[in-house]
A = this chain, B = another copy of it.
Amino acid sequence: MISNFNFYLPTKAYFGKGQIAEISMAIPKNARILLTYGGGSIKKNGVFEQVQNALKEHFYIEFGGIEANPEYETLMKAVKLAREEKLDFILAVGGGSVLDGSKFIAAAVPFEGEPWDIPYKKAPILTALPIGCVMTLPATGSEMNHRAVVSRRATKDKVSLYSDLIRPQFAVLDPTTTFSLPARQTSNGVVDAFVHTLEQYATYPVNGKIQDRFAEGVLLTLLEDGPVLLDNPTDYDARANVMWAATQGLNDILSVGVPGDWSSHAIGHELTAVYDLDHAQTLAIIVPALFTHQIEGKREKLTQLARRVFYYQGDDTQAAEFAIQQIRIFFERMGLKTHFSAMGIDDSQFSLVLQKLAEHRPRFIGERQDIDQAAVKRILYMAL
């Protein structure tokens, strides 16, 4: 049976070529804007210029240098700046890391106390600065959701915060801003969005037909148009479809009323913290192993996945195995590795991974809460 749910998706999306100009109207004219971005690629690909043109009548202060898996130490510099300059609106321009970092900043600026408590101790967010974004890397779905993930390298922590108050008011999604992405970032984004969708789909069936069909639609779109981008990075339609797929992949429309897994993400976050691997790369390694370990509990949905998404025609007995095999093939087609060994990683730090996971997730994980430390250890070895 489908569970009761609330669905709330108030972020306004401006989708298409040239839509960055809309931020001029979307942000109040009297706002004092903190303009956040990452490594500076937006200054080379024309995005920053479009933002500048749109903000000609606005006051803003730049804060660049937010890194992948945004770092607490970096973000706290922005918090200090925003407090000193009494900034009251955040415009994030970049990918999921810039946006997630900006969500943390938005919650941290008015927070009384140590802001790290927000993600680490789940301290409640009572107020936050409003956020808008120009999303230039389809992947995380952060542009239309209420969550963020931040990291603290000194303690090898990668933890989440959640609140409707950090959901962007608007999101500009211009597919042409992604034409110049490096292939690795494109691939990571496609795999990340694909795994988000699997986390909400490959669990156990509750007969949520809209949720299932929409998830299959996101998966099919990524399967079809992800590889197109490797061969033709400036294919507008493929960029547009991947971008909109990534947004739908994690804006709650797939998750409402149905169980979620998220164990691959839980383990993957620890792998990024310990090995500094790309987020998507951790998922590509963990998902095939985890699904193989959990195959009986996921068999019904994996069989449905095999038939509806991978066009499997055989009998049911091998359908789930087929689906896992096809997922692995897809990740490798996108250029990612699906074993630790292919990344030069052995088992020597698995105990640290397990220790940090126990610290962040003291209870069992998975949609049935049946994955314990011993199971995670087996999954890590299966992924070697």
On chain B, the residues within 8 Å of A10 by CB distance are 9-10
* Copies of this chain, tallied across the complex: 2
Taking A9-B9, A217-B217, A236-B1 as contacts, is the C-beta distance between A241 and B16 under 8 angstroms? no
Please determine whether A237 and B2 come into contact, CB atoms closer than 8 angstroms.
Answer: yes
On chain B, the residues within 8 Å of A216 by CB distance are 213, 217
Type the 1/0 row for A212-244, where 1 means its CB is closer than 8 Å to any CB of B: 111011101100110000000000110011001
On chain B, the residues within 8 Å of A209 by CB distance are 217, 220-221, 224-225, 241, 245
Residue A208 at the B interface, CB < 8 A? yes
CA distance A17 to B236 in the complex (A): 43
On chain B, the residues within 8 Å of A8 by CB distance are 12-13
Type the 1/0 row for A237-258, where 1 means its CB is closer than 8 Å to any CB of B: 1001100110010000100110
On chain B, the residues within 8 Å of A18 by CB distance are 4
Please determine whether B214 and A257 come into contact, CB atoms closer than 8 angstroms.
Answer: no
Tally A residues with Cβ within 8 Å of B.
43
- State the A residues within 8 Å of B (CB): 1-10, 12-19, 22, 207-210, 212-214, 216-218, 220-221, 224-225, 236-237, 240-241, 244-245, 248, 253, 256-257
Closest to A174 in B: B4
On chain B, the residues within 8 Å of A6 by CB distance are 12-15, 22
10 pairs, CB–CB < 8 Å, chain A vs chain B:
A1-B236, A4-B15, A9-B9, A10-B10, A16-B257, A208-B240, A210-B241, A216-B217, A217-B217, A240-B257
CA distance A22 to B210 in the complex (A): 23
On chain B, the residues within 8 Å of A221 by CB distance are 209-210, 213
- Chain B: minimal CB distance from A269 (Å): 27
Counting chain B CB atoms within 10 Å of each CB, the highest count among A210, A221, A225, A257 belongs to A210
On chain B, the residues within 8 Å of A256 by CB distance are 15
Contact pick for A15, options B7, B13, B22, B214, CB 8 Å: B7
Please determine whether B240 and A2 come into contact, CB atoms closer than 8 angstroms.
Answer: yes
